[in-house]
Amino acid sequence: MKMYKLFLVAVLSLSATMGFGQLYAPGAVQASGNANVGVNVSTPSNELQVLGTVRAKSFLLTNIQASAAATLNRLDGAAMSMGGGATQGTMIFDENYDFQIRKAPRAQVEVGILNAGTAVITVDGPTGNVGINTENPGSFQLAVEGTIGCREAQVLITNPFPDFVFESDYDLKSLPEVEQYIKENKHLPEIPSAAEVEEEGGFKLGEMNLKLLQKVEELTLYLIDQNKRIDQLSSELEKVKKENASLREGISGSN
């Protein structure tokens, strides 16, 4: 019985050795003296180095050192690196590590050429506000440090459109009143002053356009009124001319 067991162990060992030889070609797996393992690599320089395709149902990296990163490199230089530290994580694309996506310490997501010192796009974590060419969008849902080009922009307004200027009960200031206001305040009525705009850090485009339209409509009313006055003066002037002509004719006839 003892001899039978020894024979069985020998057969199983031989089967395992033969099975290993069938699964792996000779020399495909190498182990170096420093315990590095290589697949299709004769002298592996890392703990595990594979020259070829690796297929896995899932891939998990745990307990990575703070200065370490998972990097995928292609022979043509393209690369993708994933790493980070205790407060931020980073994904880097491109052969020169130009384009990056990272979670920054302030819980925002930054996208762009971060090595240059400025993120192209920043999404603030707590608020969801987006910044373009600025890492601090502040209270703005979209903050852009630079110019914006578009074919058309639609501004949604909450204030009433200033057609109320044309209502009969609208309190239109007289031109002398407007003149006096300008002398005292150095700006138009209902339009913010330069100091107010500077204090607010700018002005609201939609609100300002409505105010400007209101002033244009008021100016139109002033022009209509002035035109009526001009027409009246022209009519009176024609009347005076006719009266003068009649007087001259009367004087000439009496002579």
Find the largest Cα–Cα distance for the chain: 170
Report the helix count and the strand count for the chain, using DSSP H and E: 4, 11
Q: Provide the pLDDT for residue 33.
A: 63
pLDDT at 9 over 50: no
| pLDDT for the residue numbered 126 | 76
Mean pLDDT, to the nearest integer, of 104-120? 62
DSSP 126-169: TT--EEES-S--TT-SEEESS----S-------SPPGGGGGSTT
Q: Which of 127, 155, 132, 158 is nearest to 143 (CA)?
A: 132
Domain ranges, ordered by start, for the chain: 67-147, 162-254
Q: Give the SS3 label for residue 65.
A: coil
Render pLDDT for 62-79 as a digit per residue (tens, 0 to 9).
655 655 556 666 555 555
Residue 18 scores a pLDDT above 80: no
Average pLDDT, the chain: 76
**Per-residue pLDDT at 250 exceeds 60:** yes
Label residue 103 by pLDDT band (50, 70, 90).
low
Confidence (pLDDT) at 7: 45
* Amino acid 6: pLDDT: 43
Could you tell me which residue, 163 or 81, shows the higher pLDDT?
Answer: 163
Identity of the amino acid at 38: G
Q: What percent of the chain has pLDDT over 90?
A: 31
pTM of the model: 0.56
The predicted-structure confidence for 115-167, as pLDDT tens digits, reads as follows 555 567 778 777 888 888 887 888 889 999 889 999 998 888 888 899 999 99
- Decide the pairing of beta strands 48-50 and 37-39: parallel
Judge whether residue 82 has pLDDT over 80: no
Report pLDDT digits (tens) over 192-243: 999 999 999 899 888 999 999 999 999 999 999 999 999 999 999 999 998 8
More confident residue, 108 or 143: 143
